[in-house]
Structure 1
Amino acid sequence: MPIRHPRPKPPRLACVAAAAAFVLAVPSAGAQTAIDKLKQFKVATTDLNIPQVPQTGRNADAIRQNLQRIKLPPGFSIELFAVVPDARHMAVAPSTNMLFVGTRKTTVWAVTDRNSDGVADEVKSFAPSLKFHNPNGVCWTKDGFLIVAEHNRVLNFPAAEFFYEGPDVAVIEVVGQGKLIPPEEESFNHGARTCRVGPDGKLYVTLGQPFNVPARDKLDLYRQWGIGGIVRMNAFDGSGREVFATGVRNSVGMDFNPKDGSLWFTDNQTDGMGDDIPTGEINRATKPGQFFGYPWKQGRTRITEFGYDKDPLPPNITDPQVYTDAHAADLGMAFYTGQAFPEKYRGGFFSAQHGSWNRTKPIGARVLFTSLKADGTADKTEVFAEGWLDASGIYRGRPVDVAMAKDGSLLISDDFAGAIYRVSYQAP
Structure 2
Amino acid sequence: MNATPKLLPFAVATLCAAQFATLPAVQAADNVNTLSNFQQTGNTTPPETVPQTGPRADALRDNLKQIKLPPGFKIELYAVVPEARHMAIEPSTGVVFVGTRKNRVWQVTDRTKRRVADDVVSFASSVTFKVPNGVCFSPDGVLYVVEQNRVLAFPAAQFFGEGGPDVAAAVVVPQGKLIPTQFESFNHGARVCRIGPDKKLYIALGQPWNVPPKDKLADLDKNGLAGIIRMDQNGKNREIYAHGVRNSVGMDFNPKDKTLWFTDNQVDGMGDDTPPGELNHAPKPGENFGFPWYGGGKVRTEEYKDSTPPAGIVFPQVEFAAHAADLGMSFYTGKMFPAKYQGGIFDAEHGSWNRTKPIGARLMFIPIKDDGTAGTAEVFAEGWLTPNGEYMGRPVDVQQLQDGSLLVSDDYAGAIYRISYTGAK
C-alpha contact (below 8 Å) 1:45/1:167 kept by paired residues: no
One of 20, 40, 45 as aligned partner of 1:43: 40
RMSD: 1.8
- Cα displacement (A) at 1:161: 1.4
Asked if 1:137 corresponds to 2:134, the answer is yes
In structure 2, relative to structure 1, the CA distance for the partners of 1:59 and 1:288 (3 Å cut) is same
One of 55, 61, 66 as aligned partner of 1:64: 61
Asked if 1:229 corresponds to 2:230, the answer is no
**Structure-2 residue corresponding to 1:76:** 73
One of 331, 340, 343 as aligned partner of 2:327: 331
**Structure-2 residue corresponding to 1:3:** none
**Structure-1 residue corresponding to 2:215:** 217
C-alpha contact (below 8 Å) 1:8/1:144 kept by paired residues: no
Between the aligned residues of both structures, percent identity stands at 60
**Structure-2 residue corresponding to 1:185:** 183
C-alpha contact (below 8 Å) 1:20/1:39 kept by paired residues: no
- Cα displacement (A) at 1:234: 1.1
- Cα displacement (A) at 1:212: 0.5
In structure 2, relative to structure 1, the CA distance for the partners of 1:15 and 1:339 (3 Å cut) is closer
One of 254, 272, 280 as aligned partner of 1:275: 272
Cα-to-partner distance string for 1:187-216 (whole Å, 9 max, x where unaligned): 110000000000000000000011000111
C-alpha contact (below 8 Å) 1:20/1:40 kept by paired residues: no
Residues in 2 aligned to 1:32 and 1:400: alpha-carbon distance in whole angstroms? 31
C-alpha contact (below 8 Å) 2:23/2:171 kept by paired residues: no
Three-state SS of the structure 2 residue aligned to 1:161 is helix
- Cα displacement (A) at 1:310: 1.3
In structure 2, relative to structure 1, the CA distance for the partners of 1:250 and 1:32 (3 Å cut) is closer
C-alpha contact (below 8 Å) 2:227/2:240 kept by paired residues: yes
In structure 2, relative to structure 1, the CA distance for the partners of 1:61 and 1:18 (3 Å cut) is same
Asked if 1:361 corresponds to 2:394, the answer is no
One of 394, 397, 413 as aligned partner of 2:393: 397
Three-state SS of the structure 2 residue aligned to 1:220 is helix
Q: Residues 9-28 of structure 1 correspond to what in structure 2 (within 5 A)?
A: 13-17=13-17
C-alpha contact (below 8 Å) 2:323/2:355 kept by paired residues: yes
In structure 2, relative to structure 1, the CA distance for the partners of 1:374 and 1:40 (3 Å cut) is same
C-alpha contact (below 8 Å) 1:88/1:401 kept by paired residues: yes
Residues in 2 aligned to 1:309 and 1:328: alpha-carbon distance in whole angstroms? 24
Question: TM-score, normalization: structure 2?
Answer: 0.95
Three-state SS of the structure 2 residue aligned to 1:309 is coil
C-alpha contact (below 8 Å) 1:229/1:244 kept by paired residues: yes
Cα-to-partner distance string for 1:122-141 (whole Å, 9 max, x where unaligned): 00000000010000000011
In structure 2, relative to structure 1, the CA distance for the partners of 1:320 and 1:32 (3 Å cut) is closer
Cα-to-partner distance string for 1:219-245 (whole Å, 9 max, x where unaligned): 111111110000000112x10000000
Mean alpha-carbon deviation: is it higher for 12-21 or for 66-75? 12-21
- Cα displacement (A) at 1:22: 5.8
**AA aligned opposite 1:376:** G
One of 384, 387, 402 as aligned partner of 2:383: 387
Cα-to-partner distance string for 1:355-411 (whole Å, 9 max, x where unaligned): 000000000000000001111110121000000000110000000000000100010
**Structure-1 residue corresponding to 2:411:** 415
C-alpha contact (below 8 Å) 1:149/1:195 kept by paired residues: yes
**Structure-2 residue corresponding to 1:97:** 94
C-alpha contact (below 8 Å) 1:45/1:129 kept by paired residues: no
Residues in 2 aligned to 1:411 and 1:8: alpha-carbon distance in whole angstroms? 28
C-alpha contact (below 8 Å) 2:20/2:172 kept by paired residues: no
C-alpha contact (below 8 Å) 1:9/1:143 kept by paired residues: no
Unaligned runs of 5+ in 2: 1-6
**AA aligned opposite 1:386:** E
Residues in 2 aligned to 1:20 and 1:77: alpha-carbon distance in whole angstroms? 43
**AA aligned opposite 1:72:** L
Residues in 1 aligned to 2:8 and 2:405: alpha-carbon distance in whole angstroms? 25
Cα-to-partner distance string for 1:103-149 (whole Å, 9 max, x where unaligned): 00000000000000010000000000001000000001121100000
**AA aligned opposite 1:240:** N
Residues in 2 aligned to 1:11 and 1:316: alpha-carbon distance in whole angstroms? 47
In structure 2, relative to structure 1, the CA distance for the partners of 1:32 and 1:64 (3 Å cut) is closer
**Structure-1 residue corresponding to 2:3:** none
**Structure-2 residue corresponding to 1:248:** 245
In structure 2, relative to structure 1, the CA distance for the partners of 1:197 and 1:391 (3 Å cut) is same
In structure 2, relative to structure 1, the CA distance for the partners of 1:19 and 1:93 (3 Å cut) is closer
- Cα displacement (A) at 1:45: 2.9
Residues in 2 aligned to 1:12 and 1:124: alpha-carbon distance in whole angstroms? 22
